[in-house]
Amino acid sequence: MHCGGASLDSLARRFGTPLYVYSADQIVERLGLFQQALASREHLVCYAVKANSALAILKLLAERGAGFDIVSGGELERVLAVAPEAAGRVVFSGVGKTAAEIDLALKAGILQFNVESESELKLLAARARRLRIRARFALRVNPDVFAETHPYISTGLSEHKFGIDIRRALGIYKSAASDRWLEAHGVSVHIGSQIRSAAPFGKAIERVSRLARQLRREGVAIEAIDAGGGLGIDYHAGAFDAAEKVGEYAAAVEEALGDFPGRLLVEPGRFLVAQAGALMARVLYVKRNGKKTFVIVDAAMNDLIRPALYQAWHEIVPVRPRAGKPRMVDVVGPVCESGDFFARDRKLAPVEPGDLVALLDAGAYGMAQSSNYNTRPRPAEVLVEGKKARLIRRRETMADLLGPEQA
């Protein structure tokens, strides 16, 4: 197996395992799909940093004109570290922004705060007044649109913690118009993640664009609609036409926007990076326990928690396939938890201790959600551009883990 022009086997020998490997070429290609599909309208593709916040990936996207969707002050610091000139292309989402985070974003001159409550808007106004910096904002409205996805990553219903009831938005915008330190710049929506159909996006944007037109009639000069992110991928084996999916999404959003004359912001994360990444692991043991066969690898739930957290599916393939029939196995890690698994009752080609396996489509919410549980150092990360592979994050050491602590 290869990533671009680099052999996965050689990368594992060079950098060790567990190891995250990413294709820069595919990330750039996916960004280009959105930019091309939306070319007929003024737009900005704001990469959702939470999906994978590696500095090298942020720099790669910034150099190609991407903006960024952040949900913390730390994520803003990452963007500023590699692309300070991109501050004006940043939107700040999230339900729990602190005063310190708001101050940081105001001083950086970000494009827009996606405000999720009236109390947050009040705090934003107070911080803007104190710093004497006008704050551009969009209300993140909740359109009460159902998206068929995992309940943990569905965000568009009235029962969720996210957003403001769309029926109350007009009054809030009109009230904010009297504050000289607030500038109503846009309307924002985000209905969830890993959504495979374009229809829910169209339905949500139709409601948002109706609100935007009403606001403009009422004298609130909305300049942008932020459609959020959430376009999903296929984690199972098989053909996946990314261009077709982006085209369907863009068509649904464009139709729903109608004659809205302003700028469109979109916030893809998973779609740009998930299928560009894999987690490499080495088989430690193959063990039979009654009727079960366990393939124990050196990666664990602290490296990739999605299967344990969401029961998420990742294809697992041997890097150098052996002859023989696939067998039913559980692929598990060494962490002291029964929930430390990558696959249960999965047909896998024969593997032996020392073999390498690749957990595919792991570029999003893999390293970003990793931890040091069981005092395990987090993996190294490698970015492949063409035939060239470079280390973008070294493997943690025990000194890294113990450094912040005092006995």
Amino acid at residue number 243: A
Which is catalytic among the residues 323, 336, 399, 407?
336
N-to-C CA span, the chain: 45
243 touches 33 (CB < 8 A): yes
Enumerate the H helices of 222-314 as residue ranges. Answer: 242-257, 270-273, 306-310
Q: Is the dihedral of CA 94, 272, 194, 210 positive or negative?
A: positive
Active site residue 336: yes
Q: How far apart are alpha carbons 224 and 402 in whole angstroms?
A: 46
Residue whose structure tokens are 């609609």: 225
Q: What is the CA radius of gyration of the chain?
A: 23
| CA angle (120 as vertex; 114, 125 as ends), nearest 5 | 90
Q: How far apart are alpha carbons 294 and 15 in whole angstroms?
A: 26
47 touches 14 (CB < 8 A): no
Residue whose structure tokens are 């912040």: 404
Q: How far apart are alpha carbons 95 and 246 in whole angstroms?
A: 28
Q: Is the dihedral of CA 254, 256, 258, 261 positive or negative?
A: negative
Residues designated as active site:
336
